[in-house]
Copies of this chain bind each other. A is one copy, B any other.
Amino acid sequence: MDAMKVGLLGLGVVGGGTWNVLRRNGEEITRRAGRQIEVVSVAVRDVAKARARVGEDVRVSDDPYAVVDDPNIDIVVELIGGMTTAKALVMRAIANGKHVVTANKALLATHGTEIFEAASAQGVMVAFEGAVAGGIPIIKAIREGLTANRIEWVAGIINGTTNYILSEMRTRGLSFEQALKQAQKLGYAEADPAADIEGLDAAQKLTLLASMAFGIPVQLDRAHVEGIATLSAFDIVQAEHLGYRVKLLGITRRCNDGIELRVHPTLVPVSSILANVEDAMNAVMVSGDAVGQTLYYGKGAGEEPTASAVIADLVDVTRLHTADPGNRVPHLAFQPESMVDTPILSIEDIHSAYYLRFAVNDEPGVLAEITRELSLAGISIGSMIQQPPEQGEATLIFLTHVALEKNVNRAMVAIEAMSFMRSTITRLRVESF
């Protein structure tokens, strides 16, 4: 059979990895896919550098439209990242009847609905395994492997940079700033680390996972997002004393009134598998009513792990491109006409257990006042630590049972107004799955 002809937009980290792996494993990939997958054209900024890398048989251009408009190309692989240009190129490729493979989570979490609609109308596939959790085939698992299930929740460590920083803070007692610097030195964090440490990257991935788990449109703007920049080493140590480890989790859960969609530092039991996912590794846990809890673990970023996902998509497209479009795997797991508009819950309306740390004057009656206020708000306490006072300041830490967040907020406002409070309350969420 004829080779599938691929045009590559971008030859950076993931693009370069895709090129390398396709060359190194080309023979084995062909044995699986049933036909050759051949990169025939690349678009890059630096043509001379790319030419040196890909040789004379591949078209090299600095105009990405030369790729997406090339009638010879079956699949366009978008790996330039960013939003505006990437979107225009992807839409043009679709309009030209080409299949698209992309690892661009920001693009799909923002414009996914429009892009998938256009693709469905044109009868082409937009595959994006590389957009979530690198080489871990988590999109395939949710979209195809767990189709029997009513999915209850998905919770994952889906940002390797922050997981590395949290691992270093815990095991080596570093501050956030120290751990971040080290992550940057080792290439785990970018020079501008904002998207990672503020949780946006995780929120983009979680948004896609939630759509596929529950059949809802992508709604990044409805996600509640907290990063790890304000997390203190002290709380990580206290959590450990209580039997918990702090992870930046993306959590999406189906509740009676809607769907929770939230990214924030989370205490998980030390003995849980998620707690033991260390360094820059990713893991996603999926709970379904039939299968129970399943977990998927691996490298969530990097040149070849992400290339592994991109090429898996290329093989999928190669295997499926002759199939009747109406019978292919739907982009967001559910048939487009079967998507539902279950609302995303406000963070005020979620249920969670909580870690609450109070810095208070070391004086009588404080504990009684705090516990009374929590009790008034309907919050019951699971366990407590009181630290020995220093310079007249005592530290109280509570782990609560599951409560409604707006009740916790109400109690926090009331307690923070009390005269014995030395500073604002530190609040972290706790999930035991």
Q: Does A48 contact B (CB under 8 A)?
A: no
Q: How far, in whole Å, are A327 and B320 apart by their CA atoms in the complex?
A: 6
Instruction: Identify the interface centre among A30, A145, A289, A329: most chain B CB within 10 Å of its CB.
Output: A145
Q: Which residue of B lies closest to A278 (CB)?
A: B271
Q: Are A305 and B276 in contact (CB under 8 A)?
A: no
Q: Does A296 contact B (CB under 8 A)?
A: yes
Q: Are B140 and A145 in contact (CB under 8 A)?
A: yes
Q: Are A330 and B292 in contact (CB under 8 A)?
A: no
Chain copies in the assembled complex: 2
With A298-B294, A320-B323 known as contacts, the answer to whether A330 contacts B32 (CB < 8 A) is yes
Q: Are A322 and B327 in contact (CB under 8 A)?
A: yes
Q: Are B329 and A319 in contact (CB under 8 A)?
A: yes
Q: Does A168 contact B (CB under 8 A)?
A: no
Shortest CB-to-CB span from A275 to chain B, Å, is 10
Q: Are A136 and B294 in contact (CB under 8 A)?
A: yes
Q: Are A291 and B319 in contact (CB under 8 A)?
A: no
Q: How far, in whole Å, are A29 and B338 apart by their CA atoms in the complex?
A: 11
Q: Are B328 and A319 in contact (CB under 8 A)?
A: yes
Q: Does A295 contact B (CB under 8 A)?
A: yes
Instruction: Identify the interface centre among A289, A294, A305: most chain B CB within 10 Å of its CB.
Output: A294
Q: Are B322 and A324 in contact (CB under 8 A)?
A: yes
Q: Which residue of B lies closest to A145 (CB)?
A: B137
Residues of B within 8 A of A322 (CB): 323-324, 327
Q: Does A391 contact B (CB under 8 A)?
A: no
Shortest CB-to-CB span from A164 to chain B, Å, is 15
With A25-B290, A140-B144, A147-B315 known as contacts, the answer to whether A31 contacts B297 (CB < 8 A) is no
Q: Are B312 and A145 in contact (CB under 8 A)?
A: yes
Q: Does A321 contact B (CB under 8 A)?
A: yes
Q: Are B323 and A144 in contact (CB under 8 A)?
A: no
Residues of B within 8 A of A290 (CB): 17, 21, 25, 135, 304-305, 307-308, 311
With A295-B296, A323-B327 known as contacts, the answer to whether A148 contacts B29 (CB < 8 A) is yes
Residues of B within 8 A of A333 (CB): 32
Residue from B32, B146, B147, B288 within 8 A of A147 (CB atoms): B32
Q: Are B25 and A149 in contact (CB under 8 A)?
A: yes
With A292-B135, A298-B293 known as contacts, the answer to whether A335 contacts B31 (CB < 8 A) is yes
Q: Does A115 contact B (CB under 8 A)?
A: no
Q: Does A34 contact B (CB under 8 A)?
A: yes
Instruction: Identify the interface centre among A17, A291, A320: most chain B CB within 10 Å of its CB.
Output: A291
Residues of B within 8 A of A289 (CB): 24-25, 304
Residues of B within 8 A of A148 (CB): 21-22, 25, 29, 307-312, 315
Q: List A residues at the B interface (Cβ < 8 Å).
A: 1, 17, 21-22, 24-25, 28-34, 129, 134-137, 140-141, 144-150, 215, 273, 276, 288-299, 304-305, 307-312, 315-316, 318-324, 326-330, 333-335, 338
28 chain-A/chain-B pairs, Cβ below 8 angstroms: A21-B148, A21-B290, A25-B150, A29-B147, A30-B338, A31-B215, A32-B147, A32-B215, A32-B333, A33-B335, A34-B326, A129-B145, A134-B291, A135-B290, A137-B146, A140-B141, A144-B315, A145-B312, A147-B312, A148-B312, A273-B276, A273-B297, A288-B308, A290-B305, A295-B297, A295-B298, A296-B297, A323-B327
